[in-house]
Amino acid sequence: MAQAKAYKNLIAGEWVQSSSGNTFDNHNPADQRELVGSFQDSTSEDVEKAVAAACEAYSQWRLTPAPKRGEILFRLGEILTHRKEEIARDMTREMGKILLETRGDVQEAIDMAYWMAGEGRRMYGHTTPSELRDKFNMSVRMPVGVCGIISPWNFPIAIPSWKMLPALVCGNTCVFKPASDAALTAVHFMEAFEEAGLPKGVANLVTGSGSHAGSALVEHKDVRVVSFTGSTSTGRIVAQRCARDFKKCNLEMGGKNAILVMEDANLELAVDGALWGGFGTSGQRCTASSRVIVHKNVYKKFVSDLVERTQKLRVGNGLDSETEMGPVVSEKQKESILQWLTIGQTEGARLLCGGRALEDGSYQHGHFIEPTIFGDVDPHMQIAQEEIFGPVVSVIPCSSFQEAIEIGNSVRYGLSAAIYTQDINQAFVAIREMNTGIVYVNAPTTGAEIHLPFGGTKETGNGHREAAEAALDVFSEWKAVYLDFSGHLQRAQID
């Protein structure tokens, strides 16, 4: 059993305690007896200090040439590559998903580090002809200032990297408030920044609750960008507070993603996809395939194969290489998922497998839930409309491709969608018609790569995208520059 340690905040390059003098403990969700660490329960005073440090560091960091900023991110990528296994193991210990997936999580941050390192040498603006003689026009990206980064526990390093790495390469500085259930990975991330040679105060860490530390960060007048991933209800509050002070604000929120399985689909492939998309990360992904809409002509076979495979999934401690699905993150999350299981049955959905907490034997000290499938789900049921964020998949029968599209779009979220079909025409119609930010063909709704924009429509987002070049739009302002070398006054739109 690992030795539990007290971890600190990182402010202005110093590891410091919270002014509150309080800490909170994190326990392993697979075995509550293991204390993973204790972390600072920060106050608005700590946030104040962190923002002041970020403001001070900004004056130099914004003037550091972008390729140099990129070189530090490249080194970060190398350090994370070197420490991948160690960070992945700690991530599994603190939030439960299996080692295979936590390695992938670290890999996603490595990918982002290399991409953003390259962005330091690109960061393209435009040159465009002037309508006047002897005049030169161009646009350049400018940093915005201090960024408040608020991230969830389900992707403890990938999501912070989607936010902080584009912020930093653009010349901004950051104050990072990670989810409490993923505080240890956040500490590792900051250590990697330090080792990569990021100057003091450019990235600061403040752990603690959303209601104190998170809220103080969003409210702080010197924070000019807020990047938040979490629930739609919290995102709505963040957006309203940012609007008051005209802060830039990017939100990644809920999802209720559907896989459409058409009658010509390769059913074996579709079952593989539904299993991975539905139960990967114990269903705790905003991209999780929580709905599967299946054509009635293949419904029976698909459902019986999916149930058979689901019942065979090995649930357990994510550090065990045999385990295919880990625990859910916390007691609170477990209780919330169990309530959804009751709601599903009350609404009249057919429970096909799972449906209970696992509490005996090796499960007794963890937060385990059986992978669960509801069949014959009506698209209007709450379990088919709301994000459950747990290992619960709703299978919905449909009669046609058109109906599948309609059901797919009939939710308030719009993150990711998938279609299994062999018909190229049908695939392209689905790509066009699904009102989501991401569409997959013959693959489940999870598995986004960092070189394409990530984000969603409707109540999933607020029009921004993370990752790829699109992320730079969140963390920079355009400046248009006009150089007149004619030596006399020229009047645009007149001369």
Of 61 and 162, the one with the shorter C-beta distance to ligand UN1 is 162
Region binding ligand UN1 by CB under 6 A among candidate stretches 27-35, 181-189, 279-287, 478-486 = 279-287
Q: Is 388 helix (H, G, I), strand (E, B) or coil?
A: coil
Query: Taking a C-beta distance cutoff of 8 angstroms, is the pair 379, 426 a contact?
Result: no
Rule CB under 6 A: say whether 80 interacts with ligand UN1: no
Q: How many residues sit close enough to ligand UN1 to count as binding (CB under 6 A)?
A: 9
Can you tell me which of 285, 334, 367, 465 binds ligand UN1, judged by CB under 6 A?
285
Instruction: Check if 286 is active-site.
Output: yes
Buried b or exposed e, range 56-87, using 16+ CB within 10 angstroms: bbbeebbeeebbebbbbbbbbbbbbeebbeeb
Rule CB under 6 A: say whether 154 interacts with ligand UN1: yes
Of 279 and 299, the one with the shorter C-beta distance to ligand UN1 is 279
Q: Is 177 helix (H, G, I), strand (E, B) or coil?
A: strand
Rule CB under 6 A: say whether 286 interacts with ligand UN1: yes
Of 144 and 325, the one with the shorter C-beta distance to ligand UN1 is 325
Q: How far apart are CA 495 and CA 131, in angstroms?
A: 9
Beta bridge partners of residue 143, listed in sequence order: 476
Site residues for ligand UN1, 448-467, by CB under 6 A, read 448
CA distances from 46 to 114, 127, 183, 228 (A): 32, 43, 16, 19
In the complex, minimum distance from the CB of residue 103 to ligand UN1, in angstroms, rounded to a whole number: 13
Of 41 and 108, the one with the shorter C-beta distance to ligand UN1 is 108
Q: How far apart are CA 111 and CA 118, in angstroms?
A: 11
DSSP 290-320: -EEEEEHHHHHHHHHHHHHHHHT--BS-TTS
Q: How far apart are CA 451 and CA 409, in angstroms?
A: 26
In the complex, minimum distance from the CB of residue 416 to ligand UN1, in angstroms, rounded to a whole number: 7
The one catalytic residue in 94, 252, 387, 433 is 252
In the complex, minimum distance from the CB of residue 457 to ligand UN1, in angstroms, rounded to a whole number: 16
Site residues for ligand UN1, 428-447, by CB under 6 A, read 446-447
Rule CB under 6 A: say whether 227 interacts with ligand UN1: no
Of 108 and 370, the one with the shorter C-beta distance to ligand UN1 is 108
In the complex, minimum distance from the CB of residue 446 to ligand UN1, in angstroms, rounded to a whole number: 3
Backbone angles phi, psi at 284, to 5 degrees: -95, 55
Rule CB under 6 A: say whether 26 interacts with ligand UN1: no
Rule CB under 6 A: say whether 287 interacts with ligand UN1: yes
Of 223 and 286, the one with the shorter C-beta distance to ligand UN1 is 286
Beta bridge partners of residue 358, listed in sequence order: 368
List all residues 6 or more positions away from 237 whose beta carbon is below 8 Å from its beta carbon.
Answer: none
The one catalytic residue in 286, 324, 370, 433 is 286
Backbone angles phi, psi at 465, to 5 degrees: -130, 145
In the complex, minimum distance from the CB of residue 108 to ligand UN1, in angstroms, rounded to a whole number: 6
In the complex, minimum distance from the CB of residue 226 to ligand UN1, in angstroms, rounded to a whole number: 17
CA dihedral 163, 168, 170, 174 (to 10 degrees): 80
Per-residue string for binding with ligand UN1, 393-432, x by CB under 6 A? ----------------------------------------
Instruction: Check if 459 is active-site.
Output: no
Site residues for ligand UN1, 196-225, by CB under 6 A, read none
Can you tell me which of 39, 61, 115, 155 binds ligand UN1, judged by CB under 6 A?
155
In the complex, minimum distance from the CB of residue 415 to ligand UN1, in angstroms, rounded to a whole number: 8
Site residues for ligand UN1, 90-149, by CB under 6 A, read 108
| Residue (of 203, 412, 400, 393) closest to 307 by Cα position | 393
In the complex, minimum distance from the CB of residue 282 to ligand UN1, in angstroms, rounded to a whole number: 12
Alpha helices in 280-393 (DSSP H): 296-311, 331-347, 382-385
Q: How far apart are CA 265 and CA 271, in angstroms?
A: 10
Q: How far apart are CA 450 and CA 111, in angstroms?
A: 7
Residues labelled as active-site residues: 252, 286
Can you give the binding site for ligand UN1, defined by CB under 6 A?
A: 108, 154-155, 285-287, 446-448
